[in-house]
Amino acid sequence: MTKAKAIRITGARSSLTDDVRARQRRYLVSMLVRTVCVILAVVLWQESRIAAIVALVGGTVIPYFAVVFANAGREGAPRAPESFAVDFRPPPALGPGAGTGSGTGTGTGTGTGDSNTDAQP
């Protein structure tokens, strides 16, 4: 009989212990890849200098990224569960007006087109 998996229903973070364990695991994997690169550089030095140099550069650059990823630390709080995501848009407070705002005329905008003759003093 298998153990039932717990379902997370809150936006709580993972525990500090789980976070540290995950960061240690990422660092360990990065250092294993670095070790493989350095060993490849030594093994390939006589066969293919270009491949050995590429592996050596990888072994030199990987520790920087390993430290950066391992020290990334705890990220911000996760989003709220998606079951609570509601796309609510409140209705407008007022509907569109009936006129153009001047209070005179029908507001249809069927003037002569000459703005100087339509202007009122």
Q: What is the pLDDT of residue 84?
A: 54
Please report whether residue 26 resides in a domain.
yes
Find out whether 41 and 61 touch, Cβ atoms under 8 Å: no
Per-residue pLDDT tens over the stretch 76-110: 655 555 555 556 777 777 777 776 555 555 555 55
User: Among residues 30, 24, 20, which one has the least CA distance to residue 66?
Assistant: 30
Q: Is residue 35 part of a domain?
A: yes
Mean pLDDT of the chain: 74
Residue owning tokens 């998606």: 82
pLDDT digits (tens, 9 = 90+) for 24-60: 888 899 899 999 999 999 999 999 999 999 999 999 9
Calpha distance 65→119 (Å, rounded): 70
3-state SS class at 80: coil
Residue 53 maps to a domain = yes
pLDDT for 79 equals 59
Whether pTM > 0.75 for this model: the answer is no
Half-sphere exposure of 51 (CA within 13 A, CB side): 9
Does the residue 106 lie in any domain? Answer: no
How many folded domains does the chain comprise? 1
Predicted pLDDT at 42: 92
- For the ranges 1-10, 31-40, 65-74, which has the lowest average pLDDT? 1-10
Domain assignment present for residue 91? The answer is no
Q: If you count them, how many residues does the chain have?
A: 121
Task: Examine residue 109 and state whether it is found in any structural domain, yes or no.
Answer: no
Whether 118 maps to a domain, the answer reads no
Q: Is residue 52 part of a domain?
A: yes
Boundaries of domain holding 65: 16-71
